[in-house]
């Protein structure tokens, strides 16, 4: 019996997070034994050039020696204390210095937890119950946010999930990404009742969909007009588009920001932060309850701080962008050479090739992609030793560890793969 077959006896679907199971592309997942730099290695020692990057966190590559050392050094001092540490102050100061709108921050253990807590805070601050999210945006798997969600929830065609009582989602309103009129309409219909609008400033869980020119600015404006908290979910875009995330990149300050993925350097970390006025409402300063036994965990904090220090090096993002440009230009060229007019969305080190002609600027566009063709593309790339997300509605991530040789091989494999399948 294979590891995966046996895993299925003991773990639902054989995986601890659904999209890992290759459900939408077919076949059995690669069982990873180790990873280093730009590569992952399976149980049989087969090497792959990896663009999943643990779904985003590994922006400096796998098993980054600086991060590994920081984690080992921290472990020697103890793995958890349940008491405040200087490392938590250090990382909090670092986050506040990097992310423009964040004046105070609280650490949690996942992106999901960050979103749950941030929304509670926004509701308490505004004394309103309703929230607005965008169709196709993913904000973790908590009950009230599993409405028209992206990522795995899209892949599995379950806009919502059984086990979520309708009563729990009745305060969640859904708008259309890149459509400010859909927001204005909801705000007019629910005047004075909306606590917050949450958005992935670049949507990266319905594939990658960029904000249209002026869309985020408009959003900021309507939030100000209506006293609504603007929440940027920067779990993917944070520390990815720039050191200060999408808010630095687009120069728009949200009121609350959620972070995850990269911020933990591969360990389980999430965070949410914002204006002090809002953050001070959190317990024990204020009455909004939020807690976590392992929040600010010393190993995770050490990994995260080391990561953030590395990202603060001069030219980190410039160098990363150069790698990404070489790869993404090469992929775009391949499509052109093959006479394909597929939508190819890209920004900095994030990209997504849709198997749909023309452009993808909305959730409705993204839904027109040919997911069966994506599955073929995925396997053609895998056969050539390259791992990309095993689902269409995810991003391709480039890391600083990808070498020129990796990129050259990938562009070649991409050409051959497309040629084989279309
Ligand atoms: C991954 C993700 C989350 C959830 O983070 P977890 O750490 O998986 O709980 C939330 N929001 C966005 C935008 C994400 O990509």
DSSP assignment of 87-139: HHHHHHHHHHHHSTT-SEEEEESSHHHHHHHHHHHHHHHHT--EEEEETT---
Q: Which pair of structure tokens corresponds to residue 337?
A: 């050479």
Look at ligand 1, atom 11, and give the residue with the nearest C-alpha. Answer: 139
Q: How far apart, in whole angstroms, are the C-alpha atoms of residue 68 and residue 380?
A: 33
Is the pTM value of this prediction over 0.85? yes
**Would you please indicate which residues are annotated as catalytic (active-site) residues?**
138, 233, 261
What is the sign, positive or negative, of the torsion defined by CA atoms of 410, 415, 416, 422? positive
122/63 Cα distance (integer angstroms): 37
Q: Which residue's CA is the nearest one to ligand 1's atom 6? A: 111
C-beta separation of 169 from 263 below 8 A: no
| The pair of three-digit structure tokens given for residue 118, joined into one six-digit string | 């941030």
CB-CB neighbours of 268 under 10 Å:
17
17 with 54: CB under 8 angstroms? no
| Spatial separation of the C-alpha atoms in residues 404 and 412, rounded to whole Å | 12
* Host H or E run for residue 1: none
Q: What angle do CA 89, 90, 96 make, to 5 degrees?
A: 85
Predicted pLDDT at 395:
98
Best probe residue, ligand 1, of 56, 59, 118, 139 (max atoms within 8 Å of C-beta): 139
Taking CA atoms only, the protein residue closest to ligand 1 atom 8 is 111
The 3-state DSSP class for residue 130 equals: strand
Number of the ligand 1 atom closest to the C-alpha atom of 111: 5
CA of 114 to the centre of ligand 1 (A): 9
- Ligand 1 pocket, 295 CB below 6 A? no
Q: Rounding to the nearest 10 degrees, give the CA dihedral for residues 226, 229, 233, 239.
A: 110
Q: Tell me the per-residue pLDDT of 300-310, one tens digit each, with 9 for 90 and over.
A: 999 999 999 99
Distance from C-alpha of 399 to C-alpha of 50, rounded to nearest angstrom: 9
Q: How much distance in Å is there from the Cα of 267 to the middle of ligand 1?
A: 14
How far apart CA 221 and CA 149 sit, in angstroms, is 25
What is the predicted pLDDT for the residue at 157?
44
Q: Which two tokens stand for residue 239?
A: 């520390």
Gyration radius (Cα) of the chain, Å: 21
* Ligand 1 and 233: CB distance under 6 A: yes
Task: Give how far Cα 362 sits from Cα of 105, 164, 204, 340, 343, Å.
Answer: 32, 26, 12, 21, 12
CATH T-level topology, domain 329-393: 3.90.1150
Residues forming a β-bridge with 173:
132
Phi, psi of 198 (to 5 degrees): -110, 140
| Number of the ligand 1 atom closest to the C-alpha atom of 234 | 13
Domain 65-311's class? alpha beta
CA-nearest residue for atom 13, ligand 1, is 235
Task: Write the burial class of residue 84 (CB in 10 Å: 0-12 exposed, 13-18 middle, 19+ buried).
Answer: exposed
Q: What is the CA(338)–ligand 1 centre distance, in A?
A: 35
Segment 343-398, tens digit of pLDDT: 999 999 999 999 999 999 999 999 999 999 999 999 999 999 999 999 999 999 99
**Among 146, 109, 125, CA closest to 195:** 125
Handedness of CA 115, 117, 120, 126 (dihedral sign): negative
CA 416 – ligand 1 centroid, Å: 33
Unique residue bearing structure tokens 């003991």: 10
Nearest residue to 300 (alpha-carbon basis) of 5, 58, 67: 67
Q: Check residue 288 and report its DSSP letter.
A: B
Query: Where does residue 412 rank: exposed (0-12), middle (13-18), buried (19+ CB within 10 A)?
Result: middle
Pocket test for ligand 1, best of 108, 146, 152, 236 (most atoms within 8 A of CB): 236
CA terminus-to-terminus distance, the chain: 35
pLDDT for residue 9: 98
Asked whether the domain spanning 329-393 has the same topology as the one spanning 65-311, the reply is no
> Which of 49, 44, 18, 17 is CA-nearest to residue 31?
44
Q: Which position has the token pair 């890391």?
A: 399
Tell me how far the alpha carbon of residue 285 lies from the centroid of ligand 1, in angstroms.
27
Domain parsing of the chain, residue ranges = 65-311, 329-393
What is the predicted pLDDT for the residue at 155? 62
- pLDDT < 50 stretches in the chain: 157-159
Helix (H, G, I), strand (E, B) or coil at 271: strand
């Amino acid at each position: 019996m294979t590891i995966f077959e046996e895993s299925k006896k003991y773990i639902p679907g054989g995986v601890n997070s659904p999209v890992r199971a290759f459900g939408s592309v077919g076949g059995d997942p690669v069982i990873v034994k180790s990873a280093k730099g730009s590569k992952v290695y399976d149980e049989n020692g087969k090497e792959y050039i990896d663009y999943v990057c643990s779904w985003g966190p590994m922006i400096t590559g796998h098993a980054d020696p600086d991060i590994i050392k920081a984690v080992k050094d921290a472990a020697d001092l103890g793995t958890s204390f349940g008491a405040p540490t200087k490392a938590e102050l250090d990382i909090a100061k670092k986050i506040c210095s990097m992310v423009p709108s964040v004046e105070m921050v609280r650490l949690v253990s996942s992106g999901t937890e960050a979103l749950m807590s941030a929304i509670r805070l926004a509701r308490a601050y505004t004394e309103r119950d309703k929230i607005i999210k965008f169709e196709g945006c993913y904000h973790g798997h908590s009950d009230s946010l599993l409405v028209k969600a992206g990522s795995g929830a899209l892949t599995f065609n379950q806009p919502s999930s059984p086990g979520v009582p309708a009563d729990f989602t009745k305060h969640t309103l859904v708008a259309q990404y890149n459509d400010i009129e859909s927001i204005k309409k909801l705000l007019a219909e629910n005047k004075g009742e909306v606590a917050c609008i949450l958005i992935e400033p670049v949507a990266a869980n319905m594939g990658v969909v960029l904000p249209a020119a002026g869309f985020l600015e408009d959003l900021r404006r309507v939030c100000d007009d209506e006293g609504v908290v603007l929440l940027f979910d920067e779990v993917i875009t944070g520390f990815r588009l720039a050191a200060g995330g999408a808010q630095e990149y687009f120069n728009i300050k949200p009121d609350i920001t959620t972070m995850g993925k990269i911020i933990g350097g591969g360990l389980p970390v999430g965070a949410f932060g914002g204006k002090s006025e809002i953050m001070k409402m959190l317990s024990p300063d204020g009455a909004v309850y939020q807690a976590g036994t392992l929040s600010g965990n010393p190993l995770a904090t050490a990994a995260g701080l080391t990561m953030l220090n590395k990202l603060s090096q001069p030219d980190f993002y410039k160098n990363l962008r150069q790698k990404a440009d070489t790869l993404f230009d090469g992929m775009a060229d391949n499509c052109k050479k093959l006479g394909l007019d597929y939508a190819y969305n890209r920004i900095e080190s994030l990209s997504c090739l849709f198997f749909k002609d023309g452009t993808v600027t909305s959730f409705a566009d993204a839904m027109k992609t040919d997911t069966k063709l994506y599955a073929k593309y995925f396997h053609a790339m895998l056969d050539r030793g390259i791992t990309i997300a095993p689902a269409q509605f995810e991003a391709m991530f480039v890391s600083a560890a990808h070498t020129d040789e990796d990129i050259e091989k990938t562009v070649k494999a991409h050409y051959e793969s497309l040629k084989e399948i279309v």
